[in-house]
Amino acid sequence: MRVLVTGGAGFIGSHVVEALEACGHEPVVFDVRDDPEADVRDPEAVARALAGVDAVCHQAAMVGLGTGFTDAAEYVSRNDLGTAVLLTAMAEKDVRRLVLAGSMVVYGEGRYTCARHGVVRPGPRDVTDLAAGRFEPRCPVCGEELSPGLVGEDAPVDPRNVYATTKLAQEHLAAAWARSTGGSAVSLRYHNVYGPRMPQDTPYAGVASFFRSALARGEAPRVYEDGLQRRDFVHVRDVATANAAALEADSAAGALTAYNTGSGEPHTVGEMATALAADHGPEPVVTGEYRLGDVRHITADSSRLRAELGWKPEVGFADGMREFARAGMRGA
């Protein structure tokens, strides 16, 4: 297949391009890093890029928690307007296959169980609690501590920051496009992606980038809260092969199918910082600081992706972090 990869020169997109080439596909890179006119918000540029294309892997996006609400308009413009322009052009060009870079952030907090009340959904954490170092969400019924678990794709969505809201809107737009055109859409809800070519020194990168950038400067990684936040760190090459598998899958026409895309091995943020610093320190510093909009625990059940698409991650946590600690990074 001839596949348009939006954001194909970026961190994840460049690895997707390589994975598609390895599977015998012909990727076409569409990225403002290569061409300032290659903006997904430009209908004419997108229409030209779709010529002769069989499918689209949509990776272009403004990512991360950013700098607060001041970036809201830019997030919506790049992520949601850009997706709407792309989908409109796909409808006009009769391109009927889409793989979307989704995100686990659409869930908000992860899955929690109360010993007395079963599965519950805690609300946003209170600033007073965070400032006092009380980081664990409490049962909304009895106030007791909760046990975190794995989130399935059927979990309720609850985006808790601007970026998360735009990622959910992307899925809704893709679902509407699929229903209208009879196309097939797959959203791969990425967990915490890390690996070579990750951007450095930018507020829009993930926590792995923050820690790796600090170490490159000879500084100790600064771990927020108490470092016990649970995440699923998935290697970028595994995410890339998931895109190839989703592209080749016989997905349902007229609908969007979402797949959690994670390693299946939850680790704490503190463990990740320690693993990165193991080779060339300094040791991480647990600060007790916090960021509004961050969630405490979010780890996925990725078994549906394994079962339905035959995908599995190949890079383990220890090996992946060892490689990432030495790998080159790219400028913001």
Place of tokens 């383990």: 316
Judge whether 157 and 168 are in contact, CB under 8 Å: yes
Largest CA distance in the chain: 58
Residues belonging to the active site: 163
d(CA 242, CA 45): 27
- 121, β-bridge pairs: none
Phi, psi (degrees; rounded to nearest 5) at 97: -135, 125
Place of tokens 């610093």: 277
